[in-house]
Amino acid sequence: MPRTVVITGASTGIGRATAALFQARGWNVVATMRQPADGAALAAHDNVLVTRLDVTDRSTIATAVDAALARFGRIDVLVNNAGYGAYGPLEAFPMENVERQFATNVIGLLAVTKAVVPHFRARGAGVIVNISSMGGQVAFPMGSLYHGSKFAVEGLSEALSYEMSAIGVRVKIVEPGRYATDFSGRSFDLQNDPGMREYQGLAQALLKAWTGPDIVHGDAAEAAEVIYRAATDDSDRLRYTAGEDARQLLADRKALDDESFIRGIKVSIGIT
């Protein structure tokens, strides 16, 4: 019987590439997204169910999980991919944006997981793949909200791995680097108030560093391969890195003390 994967945030980027990869390898795929019309190409496949799921709307989570079980009878893997990135001076962010960041990346991820875990526990098996980021272990300027949420994903995933092992479920964390996805578009929230002059030098340096001609973005298909490997790896390995930039940055983070690493980040961005 084909295995079934549920993927959140599957309308674009890494989520869509992951859904396409699992589908091509014979899995049943439940590709969830806020606007199911965005998944028309995926829905053309017999082994794909495209259904609405907004991680900040609990009713859509329950409905999507019920639809997955009704269509395919089982869930073997949950990929928590839906995400949103808020960058800018904390002082410039309205509290509703602060709340949205954690409601999407942390509370939403936990809500979807809670909805699927009872099925895993009843079966005594399952895999949870949480999509973090290289920004779940390192932080850049102006990213207190985004990095705070991704550091939370890392911590909750590691803690969750202990209790999930008691019911036969493995937890995996995937940490992608920069990829050519829609994250910098509709999934990105940049807030900056030019009237807060003290922050402008830092903000402009960061934007220049991120949009310079030397920035290389990987193919989302590469990240999808890493996610697939994590989902099908029967070992107790917890973390998987996707992208050469992520591998290098995380290696530097482990090798250097805080002062040296942060100084290197400042130099790379062009700030003092």
Phi-psi sector, 131: left (phi>0), alpha (psi -120 to 50), beta: beta
Q: E strands within the chain?
A: 4-7, 28-33, 48-52, 77-80, 85-87, 126-131, 169-176, 188-190, 239-242
- 146 given a catalytic annotation: yes
Of the residues 84, 87, 144, 146, only one is catalytic, namely 146
Q: Can you give 104-152 as a three-state secondary structure string?
A: HHHHHHHHHHHHHHHHHHHHCCEEEEEECCHHHCCCCCCCHHHHHHHHH
Of the residues 11, 84, 150, 179, only one is catalytic, namely 150
Of the residues 132, 133, 144, 157, only one is catalytic, namely 132
- 149 given a catalytic annotation: no
Q: By three-state DSSP, how is residue 41 classified? A: helix
Backbone angles phi, psi at 240, to 5 degrees: -135, 130
| Catalytic positions, written as ranges | 132, 146, 150
